[in-house]
Amino acid sequence: MVDLKLSEYFNDIYSVNEGIPEFEMLVNGEWINSDKKQDVVSSLDGSVIGRISVANHDNIDSMVNHAVEAQKEIEKMSLIDRIELLNKVKSEVISKKDELVNIIMIEAGKPKSAAEGEITTLIRRLELSEQDLYSLKGEFIPGDLAQDTVGRSAVLVRKPIGVVLGISPFNYPVYTSANKIIPAILGGNSIIIKPPSADPIALLALAEIFRKAGMPKGVLQVVTGSGSSTGDYLIENNQINMISFTGSTEVGEHITNVAGIKKLHMELGGKAPAIILKDADLDLAAKECVKGSLSLSGQRCDAISRILVVEDIYSKFVEKLKEHMSDFKMGNPIEDNSVNMGPLINKKSAERIDSMVKDAISKGCNLVQGGKYNNCYYEPTLLTDVTKDSIIANEETFGPVVTVIKVKDIDDAIEVSNNSKYGLDGCVFTNNISEAFKVMDRVKVGNMSLNVAPSHGTSNFPFGGIKYSGEGKEGIGKSIEEMTVVKTLIFDLSSFGLGKEYSGKFN
């Protein structure tokens, strides 16, 4: 059994009951308990590593009320104070990096390199947070551009949207949450974060870092519990001004149906195509496609979910894929440091992936490698000659399967790519710049990459999907735009004797 041990720094966020740590919720700057608990199970071995408090309606009402009041205070805080607060958080994250990495490895089953990558990316995001503020600059509009506003001028400024509800996924429980918290606070909002129930502990630890760094009470609060009860009650609350959700398309649709009138920022599922054209560097393309399909056991919205290979090079490319499948070793990363592909988040996910693989096999694909699982561990799997009517060719995989589909030519590849309800990421591999531009221009996704697998990283490049992959853009400078609203300030300068006059003599 894995054992989750925390340093004294985090003593306030939990108590121990019968040898199991029971974690509390952050409400108005204080850690509070609830009567109902929910187990947190490590996907590494199925052991219970902790319990979280399940918020009731009274807890949630209290959080929202505190958030409304706290937002008024954070809006008054100068931008330089907000930046210096985040710099202090960054210093604390650096000092607690190893501990945060260990928590992520234990509760999410991530390999050490992936867990370290998540915290390193968080540190870089905090370092770059000052760049968000460039998006808060205003705009001047002269009134004498139109007859009816001659003598007036306007200034556009960005104001906080209010109370933000952030809902985060299990695959990047710390970074994705921080990628909502940082722009919300910089924009002068308060934020309530709901971490994933599967692996919430690392985010609770990050919230304690924010608290000890001096975050004003109520500006950042953390609610825990199941999405069906806790989440829905929050989503429906009319004092919540915006929901920033990262997760599945199915849950995103549910949120859209129950949220009511409020701003929705959605980063949903994907079915990223990788298009391999005949003049591509096949070794580079194969390496990137395997990495893009198998990293984090394929549990990424920007994972390569289908590889479309033109028939002229199909056989050669499949051989290259076979060579690079050995780049990934599955196992328990706590027991073996050489493991770079851990378990899926739970056994239900493994069973779902297995049903998709079996469906593809029943429809005529070739199972070249893998296709077996044990509890949460699903083998790196290579499927070739996948038919276009199979489930795995159309639905988000979110598992460690390299799915290869043969296409006739570049036009067929574009058509197959666009024949999907998803539109988040995609990539193309070619050394022909005109064909590269054609594919990147015509494939209907929010983000296209050339000769590299999709990756969102520190969000330096904005990202966000179309169709059933979401709405709105995330990233440095873009998330803060989503979390603020434009206010128009109109000045009648004629009352001061300063405004221009309309002559009408040329009309």
pTM for the structure as a whole: 0.95
Domain 272-450 of CATH type 3.40.309.10: yes
Same fold, 58-268+473-486 and 272-450: no
Indicate the burial class of 30 (C-beta count within 10 angstroms; 0-12, 13-18, 19 or more). Answer: middle
| Active-site amino acid positions | 267, 301
> Would you kindly state where each structural domain of the chain is located, as residue ranges?
58-268+473-486, 272-450
Q: Is 6 helix (H, G, I), strand (E, B) or coil?
A: coil
What integer pLDDT is reported at residue 226 of this predicted model? 80
What integer pLDDT is reported at residue 290 of this predicted model? 98
pLDDT averaged per 10 residues, the chain (length 507): 88 94 97 94 95 95 98 96 97 97 96 97 96 90 92 95 97 97 97 96 98 97 86 92 96 94 96 97 98 97 97 98 96 94 97 98 97 97 97 97 98 98 98 97 98 94 95 95 97 86 84
C-alpha 60/C-alpha 38 separation (Å) is 17
Q: Is the CB of residue 324 less than 8 Å from the CB of residue 286?
A: yes
> Can you say whether the dihedral through the CA atoms of 8, 9, 12, 15 is positive or negative?
negative
Q: What's the one-letter identity of residue 98?
A: D
Indicate the burial class of 132 (C-beta count within 10 angstroms; 0-12, 13-18, 19 or more). Answer: buried
C-alpha 492/C-alpha 506 separation (Å) is 24
What integer pLDDT is reported at residue 42 of this predicted model? 95
What integer pLDDT is reported at residue 236 of this predicted model? 93
CATH tag, 58-268+473-486: 3.40.605.10
What integer pLDDT is reported at residue 5 of this predicted model? 87
Structure tokens given for 348: 């239900």
- In DSSP terms, 304 is beta-bridged to 272
Q: Is the CB of residue 197 less than 8 Å from the CB of residue 167?
A: no
What integer pLDDT is reported at residue 152 of this predicted model? 94
What integer pLDDT is reported at residue 227 of this predicted model? 72
Residues 473-482 pLDDT 10s: 999 999 999 9
- In DSSP terms, 267 is beta-bridged to 246, 470
C-alpha 219/C-alpha 103 separation (Å) is 25
Residues 190-229 pLDDT 10s: 999 999 999 999 999 999 999 999 999 999 999 999 877 7
Q: What's the one-letter identity of residue 227?
A: G
Neighbours of 283 (CB within 10 A): 12
Residues 407-416 pLDDT 10s: 999 999 999 9
Structure tokens given for 220: 């950042």
C-alpha 232/C-alpha 222 separation (Å) is 15
First to last CA, the chain: 84
User: DSSP secondary-structure letter at 314?
Assistant: H
- List the one residue out of 113, 145, 127 whose CA is nearest residue 502: 145
Q: Is the CB of residue 139 less than 8 Å from the CB of residue 156?
A: yes
What does R_g of the chain's alpha carbons equal in angstroms? Answer: 25
Those residues with Cβ within 8 angstroms of residue 291's Cβ, 6 or more apart along the chain or in another chain: 327, 453
Indicate the burial class of 353 (C-beta count within 10 angstroms; 0-12, 13-18, 19 or more). Answer: buried
